[in-house]
């Protein structure tokens, strides 16, 4: 049995506008000039960057800033985030092929079910895993390994859009499919690359 694990933001859901509006909304309250969407989405998907410093000019975010970000992000996500064209059809086709499907996102675990239900794809996932006190963000491989353990499978492939996703797959020792419509880039020449959702299915069937 195999599980196909998907990242969320930039892979199955286009949340660039929601992220940009949230960050620039906080910057406006701090009397800072807005940042471009390209700069923001690139920064959040590259490992090792101090986002609090780059986005808000502080070495670490305060508790109130974190709470404000989560509240603003929920509002903006509901308003602007949508599933990429062809994703729901892809998930349905993968399930019909007999594979399990899971989500592994750097978003807080408590937010994921509502997001997926709003986009009418929650029921297509066998397991949804996000960040909490026991599961760190990617590129740490923990959430990918948790998916394999909880679903009881010995084969897995991860689909994502960033260096953090690629690093998590490498650390978890599983194949990685990089989607070119997302927020980041691929560095590993051994990674598979998909230019549209239907190509993910073709790679799964023909190469993995």
Pair (142, 181) in one structural domain = yes
Pair (94, 25) in one structural domain = no
- Smallest CA-to-CA distance from 122 within 83, 148, 151, 160 is with 83
In this structure, of 8-22, 28-42, 75-89, 184-198, the range with the lowest mean pLDDT score is 184-198
CATH number of the domain within which 164 lies: 3.40.50.1000
Pair (199, 151) in one structural domain = yes
Q: Give the span between the Cα atoms of 147 and 138, in whole angstroms.
A: 13
pLDDT digits (tens, 9 = 90+) for 133-189: 899 999 999 999 999 999 999 999 999 999 899 999 999 999 999 999 987 766 666
Domain that holds residue 164: 2-14+83-206
Instruction: Domain count for the chain, please give it.
Output: 2
Q: Among the three residues 52, 80, 108, which one is the final residue of a domain in this structure?
A: 80
Per-residue pLDDT at 160: 96
Pair (124, 42) in one structural domain = no
Pair (40, 58) in one structural domain = yes
Averaged pLDDT, 33-53: 88
pLDDT digits (tens, 9 = 90+) for 88-132: 999 999 999 999 999 999 988 888 999 999 999 999 999 999 999
- Asked whether the predicted pLDDT for residue 46 surpasses 90, the reply is no
Q: Give the span between the Cα atoms of 85 and 82, in whole angstroms.
A: 9
Give the global pTM.
0.89
> Any residues with CB less than 8 A from the CB of 93 and at least 6 apart, and which?
201
DSSP string, 50-70: -HHHHHHSSSS--HHHHHHHH
Pair (190, 115) in one structural domain = yes
Q: Among the three residues 64, 80, 96, which one is the final residue of a domain in this structure?
A: 80
Pair (189, 88) in one structural domain = yes
Pair (106, 192) in one structural domain = yes
Pair (101, 23) in one structural domain = no
Two tokens, residue 33? 């000039």
Share of the chain above pLDDT 90, in %: 72
């Amino acid at each position: 049995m195999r599980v196909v694990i998907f990242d969320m933001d930039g892979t199955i859901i286009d949340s660039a506008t929601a992220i940009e509006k949230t960050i620039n909304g906080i910057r406006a309250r701090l009397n800072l000039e807005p940042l471009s969407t390209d700069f923001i989405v690139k920064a959040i998907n590259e490992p090792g960057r101090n986002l609090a410093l780059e986005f808000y000019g502080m070495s670490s975010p305060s508790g109130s800033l974190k709470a404000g970000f989560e509240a603003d992000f929920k509002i903006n996500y509901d308003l602007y985030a949508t599933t990429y064209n062809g994703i729901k059809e892809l998930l349905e086709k993968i399930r019909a092929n007999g594979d399990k499907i899971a989500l592994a996102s750097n978003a807080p675990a408590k937010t994921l079910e509502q997001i997926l239900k709003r986009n009418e794809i929650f029921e297509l996932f066998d397991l949804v895993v996000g960040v909490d006190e026991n599961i760190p963000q990617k590129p740490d491989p923990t959430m990918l390994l948790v998916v394999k353990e909880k679903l009881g499978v010995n084969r897995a492939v991860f689909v994502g859009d960033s260096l953090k996703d690629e690093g998590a797959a490498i650390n978890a020792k599983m194949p990685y499919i990089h989607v070119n419509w997302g927020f980041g880039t691929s560095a590993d020449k051994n990674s598979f690359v998909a230019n549209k959702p239907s190509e993910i299915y073709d790679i799964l069937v023909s190469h993995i």
